[in-house]
Amino acid sequence: MGLSLTATLLASPATAQESLEGPDVTISSNEEETVYEYRQNGVLRIIRVVPAVGAPYYLVPADPTKGGDLERSDTLLPSWVILRF
């Protein structure tokens, strides 16, 4: 029993460190816009688009109840930040 508890305690710091890692960001740009893709544990979570002209916006799933993986979403809709305080 003591050996399995020790093995569990030794394994837990590594898993805790992995869960503290931040998202991976992929930035792609052209003359019209810059696109930021945020991935967490390999899953696409947020897409932020910054156009050359106009306000930045986010692409969000049409049905957010299906989960957070944007690559599996059927339709992505633009969403703007209206007010910040």
Residue 18 lies in a domain: no
Range of the domain at 30: 26-85
* 64: in domain: yes
Structure-token pair, residue 45: 């979570």
Cα–Cα distance measured from residue 14 to residue 84, given in angstroms and rounded to the nearest whole number: 37
Once rounded to an integer, what is the mean pLDDT over residues 41-67?
Answer: 85
pTM of the full structure? 0.65
Query: If pLDDT is split at 50, 70 and 90, which confidence band does 63 have?
Result: confident
Tell me the chain's radius of gyration from C-alpha atoms: 19
**Is position 49 within any domain?**
yes
Would you say residue 77 lies in a domain? yes
Question: Does residue 17 form part of some domain?
Answer: no
Judge whether 67 and 45 are in contact, CB under 8 Å: no
Number of domains, the chain: 1
> Does residue 71 belong to any structural domain of this protein?
yes
Residue at 15 is within a domain:
no
